Amino acid sequence: MFKYTVKRLAQSFITVFIVVTLVFLLMRMLPTDYYFTEEQLMKFTEQQKNDQLLAAGLLDPVPEQLLRFYGQLLRLDFGESRRIQNGVPVVKVIGTKFEISMKMGLTSLGIAVVIGIVMGIIQAQYKNRIPDHLGTAYTIFVNAVPPLVSYSLVLIFGSRVLGLPSIYSSRNPGPSSILPIVCLAMLSIAWWALWTRRYMIDEINKDYIKLARIKGLPTKKIMRKHVLRNAFVPLAQYLPASILTTVGGSLLVERFFSVPGMGPLLTDSIHRYDLNVVQTLVIMYSVLSILGVFLGDVLMIVVDPRITLTNKGGTR
């Protein structure tokens, strides 16, 4: 386990390093005019533009800029935003939006995991019967219908029938978060239900379950102590990644309900050429994704100690 941990941490560091470097180089390949606003492009002379770029260090040789960027990262200095919120530290810009997305994301994921797993269990217990057909119909509907259509249906029902706010409001975050949370949870519920059902049915059809039934063990005990426990092992691997990626926000849902969260921030910062915000977001998303995969493997061992991550040769 220790060798595996060290190896994966080293691989993760190299991956993040490569991703960050590529993003830095790609952003520097864009025309320098993107660095200025439309108003500045109209007012500034070429000399003024050159002075601005020189002061920002964007005219230095790229290797020199890259080394300076690495040094800033080691000091945890992510710089200031120039276009999203001019002069505000990037950490503060992201922090306010991250809090909104995190609360909504974790709430929706918690709802999805509970409802999805319970739905999957019921479907597996009543395979090819009415509860199973209803759950399958929901899963097919959610995956087949375009997201904007399903979000519109939720919006119409929630606002006109239930009287819930249709647009997010920072003054009234509780009620105005309900519809976005429902939309975020819908697809996740279908995913957890689908795979819980599948893994449980796989376990039910195995020989050791058939033997337990022959021995006369109660069905509830078999389902709880054997089927559900073993079926949850592969699901556990995806739970940490789901948690960490969910807090990053949803571009479509947050734009649809005008939520000032993390979802639209990356696309907005790229469109507006806010270099520091883009680079920081890429680092954050890379770390969250890689950490989620690593923690998923660890959680599998916690759920089922029989699983080993390395063989005799020391490789996974």
Q: What is the pLDDT of residues 276-309, one digit of tens each?
A: 888 888 888 888 888 887 787 777 777 766 666 5
Dihedral sign, Cα of residue 23, residue 28, residue 34, residue 37: positive
What is residue 132's predicted lDDT score, i.e. its pLDDT?
Answer: 93
| Phi, psi at 44, each rounded to 5° | -75, 140
CB-CB neighbours of 150 under 10 Å: 17
Residue with the bigger pLDDT between 185 and 271: it is: 185
Predicted TM-score of the model (pTM): 0.79
What is residue 311's predicted lDDT score, i.e. its pLDDT?
Answer: 57
Is residue 296 left, alpha or beta, with left meaning phi > 0 and alpha meaning psi from -120 to 50? alpha
Q: Average pLDDT of 266-274?
A: 82
CB-CB neighbours of 147 under 10 Å: 15
Q: How far is CA 184 from the centre of its chain?
A: 11
Closest CA to 16 of 294, 295, 283: 283
Separation of alpha carbons 316 and 304, rounded Å: 17
| Phi, psi at 89, each rounded to 5° | -55, 140
Which are the contacts of 213, defined by CB distance < 8 A and separation ≥ 6?
Answer: 219, 222
Q: pLDDT band at 34, cuts 50/70/90?
A: low
The pLDDT mean for the chain works out to 83
Tokens found for residue 243: 């948690």
What is residue 156's predicted lDDT score, i.e. its pLDDT?
Answer: 93
- What tens digit of pLDDT does each residue of 186-221 get? 989 999 999 889 888 888 888 888 788 787 777 777
What is residue 192's predicted lDDT score, i.e. its pLDDT?
Answer: 92
Q: Average pLDDT of 146-171?
A: 89
Question: pLDDT > 90: what percent of the chain?
Answer: 16
Question: pLDDT > 70: what percent of the chain?
Answer: 93
What is residue 308's predicted lDDT score, i.e. its pLDDT?
Answer: 64
β-pair partners for 80: 89
Residue with the bigger pLDDT between 233 and 123: it is: 123
Residue with the bigger pLDDT between 228 and 18: it is: 18
What is residue 48's predicted lDDT score, i.e. its pLDDT?
Answer: 81
User: How many Å is the Cα radius of gyration of the chain?
Assistant: 25
Q: pLDDT band at 315, cuts 50/70/90?
A: very low
Q: Average pLDDT of 51-59?
A: 79
- What tens digit of pLDDT does each residue of 220-238 get? 777 777 787 787 878 887 8
Q: Specify whether the CB–CB gap between 151 and 255 falls below 8 A.
A: no
What is residue 307's predicted lDDT score, i.e. its pLDDT?
Answer: 63
Q: Examine the pLDDT at 314 and tell me if it is beyond 50.
A: no
- What tens digit of pLDDT does each residue of 247-261 get? 766 778 888 898 888
Q: Examine the pLDDT at 139 and tell me if it is beyond 90.
A: yes
DSSP character string of the chain: -HHHHHHHHHHHHHHHHHHHHHHHHHHHTS-GGGGS-HHHHHH--HHHHHHHHHHTTTTS-HHHHHHHHHHHHHTT---B-SSSSTTSBHHHHHHHHHHHHHHHHHHHHHHHHHHHHHHHHHHHHTTTSHHHHHHHHHHHHHHHS-HHHHHHHHHHIIIIIS---SS--TTSHHHHTHHHHHHHHHHHHHHHHHHHHHHHHHHHTSHHHHHHHHTT--HHHHIIIIIHHHHHHHHHTTHHHHHHHHTT--HHHHHHTT--SSTTHHHHHHHTT-HHHHHHHHHHHHHHHHHHHHHHHHHHHHH-TT--S--TTS--
For residue 260, the number of C-alpha atoms closer than 13 Å in the C-beta half-sphere is 10
- What tens digit of pLDDT does each residue of 141-156 get? 998 998 889 999 999 9
What is residue 88's predicted lDDT score, i.e. its pLDDT?
Answer: 87
What domains are defined for the chain?
2-74 (no CATH), 90-274+286-303 (1.10.3720.10)
Q: Examine the pLDDT at 134 and tell me if it is beyond 80.
A: yes
- State the helix-helix crossing angle for 62-74 and 2-28, rounded to 10 degrees: 140
